[in-house]
Structure 1
Amino acid sequence: MKIKSVTMAALALVGASTLALGAHAQGRLIKPGGNWAGMLDETDGGHLFGNPDAETKLVEFMSYTCSHCATFARKGDAAIKLSHVPTGKVSYEIRHLIRDPVDLTATLLTHCGEAKKFGGNHEAIMYRYDEWIEKARTATQAQRSRWQFGTLSARLQAIANDLDFYEIMETRGYRRADLDRCLSDEAKAKVLADTSAADVQRYGLKGTPSFVLDGELLEGTHDWPSLEKRLKDAT
């Protein structure tokens, strides 16, 4: 999916007065007995699965409102985590391109809580993509007005309510009060928006999903079959 006004739309949504957070890495898990499958780090703009010192480093740039990203999440994510990450030879980082308010809402929710929860949160949102994106497409004018006016937290909470994000995350064990706190974190929102804009500029990203392998943007590679071939060639 092509990126449309990522930088300006995301920053305008968050607000220029918000203070940014510094880069951080939280929630590191212990490598279990030589198998890197359980290793997870929170990075400055996403989450990294596997060995942070792996020889081959794969980065996915994705958007929650991108249908192709949802397809990749169902087909490519599991294959990478099962076949490549456990060996310690390949690390896999998921980073976010914030395209619109719905995207920002989903991203903040998947980042909610400890870093070790991200993988399951990401799957929960992506696996029900077809359901909630249809609600977004058919939203009433009154709903869309709530998404566009008011404080940032009020707008994002309205989106989470209208698209059943609360219900999805509650199945993950979250309480609504906890989710509201995450949706009210304007500093986190600005970090995500700023990082998204910087990634677009740094790599010249034109659509999602896009993949960077060992620092090089893989041109013409936007699905699992084409990425799988590139990974096999690299490893």
Structure 2
Amino acid sequence: QKSSDEKGRAVLYDIAEEEKAPAEEQQPPAEEFECTTNATCEDIEYCAMAVGAVGGNCEPVAGECGYAANHVWVVYECGSEAGCPSCSSGFDCSAHVCAATGAAPPGEEGITADEAQAALDAALAAINAAEAAGKDAGAARALYEQAQNEFAAGDYEAAKQHAEEALSMANAAQPLPEEQPEAPAAEELPAGQPSSFPWITALILLAIIGLVGIGAYWFLIRGTGKRGR
């Protein structure tokens, strides 16, 4: 049997557990956040967090006269959309950018020398690589040389176009056909020197005729001797 002290301690332990259980049940669950930084959200969203919070929810980026990108709102310089400003006098709005009246729209300016030179460099590298691999890049090199001449004349647009075509031709170049070994030339006799082949043939024929004649003579003599007996 348990002593009175042991019984008392057991009762106190049960009371403490009963008081502890409701307190644990009343604790709110840990808050779950959809995001902690903008990187967690889509490109057109941002992480909206309350002051002092460690996380928040992804919300769409919104604004006027612009577009959402990289978790921020990019504002147009001008435009016909609601909230977009107009360009100042002497400028027109083209592709949401103010450009001088009569100027080419952004992205449609003439080819620069740097752009043409970059195309020439890329074409030359491809041609050299094709030739080093044993491929037929002759047509590509000819077109590249034409582009070089156009570049020297200041026609950067044509130079860039032909350089890009030369690049494509070099990349599609086919291996060169294998060279067939030449058959050894027949040895020629010096002028005026007859070939020894007819003489050898004649000697062989004479030897055969001689053997046949000797054989016939031997059989003839042998037959005559038999009849004389």
TM-score w.r.t. length of structure 2 = 0.17
- Of structures 1 and 2, the larger Rg is shown by 2
Tell me the TM-score normalized by structure 1: 0.17
Larger RCO of the pair (alpha carbons < 8 Å, separation 6+) = 1
